[in-house]
Chain A
Amino acid sequence: MLNNHAKLMQFFSEANEVVGRKKLQKMIYILQKCKVPFEEKYQFHFYGPYSEELTLRVEELCNLGFVDEVKENKSNYYQYHYSVTDAGESFLKQFSLDMPDFTEKLALLKGKSSRFLELVSTMLYFDNLPKDEVEEKIHLTKPKQKYTVEEISEAWAFIDRLVIDN
């Protein structure tokens, strides 16, 4: 029961705090690609892989009082902060989840911007294509983001560091 919710709670618990909805979306997707068994279904959207199921499940966790969501008013947009509550920690304790250790990967992801994670997750979305075609896809599907050559090579290096078995 609610195993998928519990897996996300483990993510929030280990992450301590996640800043930004877009970043949260991309972090879970990238972890999925690292074989961490989150089961939320993703589709490609304007800003890269996005899971409506994840959005709704996080809303459920907030409504249940397991995750605290704080809305911060930036100058021309809002940013959301997520952290686990005491009730959330108690809920999580009742599960014995068989999850691989993803602490290190999580730390790497947390240190990156949402723009960069959008690039990485988009590259991973096309991981069935050869490298040059992946880069071509990035430029074709995301012309407005204007990703530089340096950013793209940094993203490849980052993917290698994550040791993703493609």
Chain B
Amino acid sequence: MNSTVALLLCGPAAFLATAIVAAAASRLAAATRLVYGATLVISAVLLATAAGHLAGNPGEASASLPLGVPWTGARFRLDGLSAFFLVVVNLGGTITSLYGLGYGRHESQPHRVLPFYPAFLAGMNLVVLANDAFSFLLSWEFMSLASWALVMAHHRDEANRRAGYIYLVMASFGTMALLLAFGLLAGPAGTYAFDAMRAAHPNPFAAGAVLVLMLLGAGSKAGLVPLHAWLPLAHPAAPSHVSALMSGIMTKVAIYGFVRVVFDLLGEPAWWSGVAVLLIGGVTAVLGILHALMEKDLKRLLAYSTIENIGVIFASLGLALAFKANGMPSAAALAFTAALFHVLNHSFFKSLLFFGAGAVLTATGERDMEKLGGLIHRLPVTSFVFLIGCVSISALPPFNGFASEWLVFQAILRSPELPQWGLKVIVPAVGGMLALSAALAAACFVKAFGITFLGRARSAAVERAHEVDRWSLAAMAVLAALCLLAGILPGFVIDSLSTVTLPLVGERMPVQMAQPWLSIVPIAESRSSYNGLLVFVFITISASLAAFFIHRFASHALRRGIAWGCGFPDAVPAGQYTAVSFAQPIRRVFGGFAFRSRETVDMPAPGALEPARLKVEMHDVAWEIFYQPITGAIDFATERLNHLQFLTIRRYLTLVFLYLVILLLVLALWP
């Protein structure tokens, strides 16, 4: 057994021990600090180990434990891909635990959160390490159940119970798809070890079926349209630091599952698989961000924006598949690196934004943006770091979201070399969709920041708000710094990803840290290059120059006065733009096809005293087309089968007898 893997396996064991201690001691006053302190230390050790493996590049290491199914055992393996995702998981775990040290103290029912939080972290770590189908599925289910328990932490709220129920149904559906996928991969020999699956080559039909099942199984966990409907319900229902883990980290574990099977176990992909993944990714990105724009609940807005980012990542993975299938490893390495880079970036800024939403929730008790506003005066530090998160997620230079989206666009520009017509037409169209989603994301986060933090207070709760505790602020500040660092030093991240891309797509991106001035140059300098560091330096210098010049030569006079309100004195805060009215122009442009939205204005006759009303009707098309028929069918079936519960004993005996006869008949007639 390899010592690194053994150390990494001790981590989940330590998490589980913490969970047990937490279950026993969760009603103690010191429990919160104890549990988050323990998870902070464990995650940090795991992070250091995994990062050391990724940087040192010693190849792969594996271990097996005599647990699980008899004669099979539980196998674990550490390679570049799992090391990278371990870094993502444990970096998120470390910073979330830091945040939890402060935020957890406001929890009204700590005994419903503390035992499941370390268990959730253990589950995510084990999924990434698993090397056979059995341990993978077991860890996956464990992760789902632990997060379900966290979603149900405040289960007295009707909406949370509903979210938990839908989440549980979708999680079971996803695991069923994964189970079938692994069944197909195991083949007739029934080998559950990933090593055997990697050596076997499934026929094209089975490979296609596995891809579809993975899109259903891992895609439903990650939030791909149309399987996304549970995500904006479940993620915001959990306490905010758990929302950050679910949105920022657990969706990445789902992406790990997809990449592990489709890029590693499945062997050579077919070109059409790229088309499928690309299209789903592009549609997911656009629909996710449009839903986010229509939202007025801050945490649900963030959850919908997760769907958009998952779409971007899947589109990039689809591109990598298409390049890989056509024997263009360098282009595939570019697209694959872009996808992984975006995985890392999204885990930074989405955790940061959920932490910020949690801070707002702590300070004001509100998630509804229509009741917030003006928080920049009350929460100066939170608003500053939240602003950095908003700029990063809107893909604006020089922050990290832009660096990875820029790489995605560079990968798209290599598409003319693809031979298939389907790909040739679809890739630029998907590029347009990604550009649209990036522009809409900027609009969405102007709205999120503008309505929540700017303007005037819309409720008394805001007037009473105070800055949150130091632990939470420290966690957010670390993430904001990481967003900037990854944005101005993208070459460092790209080079660390080389050990991941090399085995999976057969090539790596050129070494970036050797470039002069730390630029990133994906192909050649004459083609395209970007230097986040210099852009940052230039903006800083020119802004300082302008400020210096102004303060040296221009007038210093400054007077405070009331804002111009068209001559109306004492404008009320309710007269400001709201989240819904801000999104109205975009709803008018895109709502027709995305939500089948309809606006009706009810204008009373001149002189009448009743108020005018504007009614907006919107539909979640995916919910109506996919979810409602399924729930309807389930309701119908349960209704019909219900009376089987109330039969007499004689009828039950008759049923058992009939069943036996049928079984025997089938056995007798089976050839």
Are these two chains actual partners, yes or no? no
Residues of B within 8 A of A (CB): none
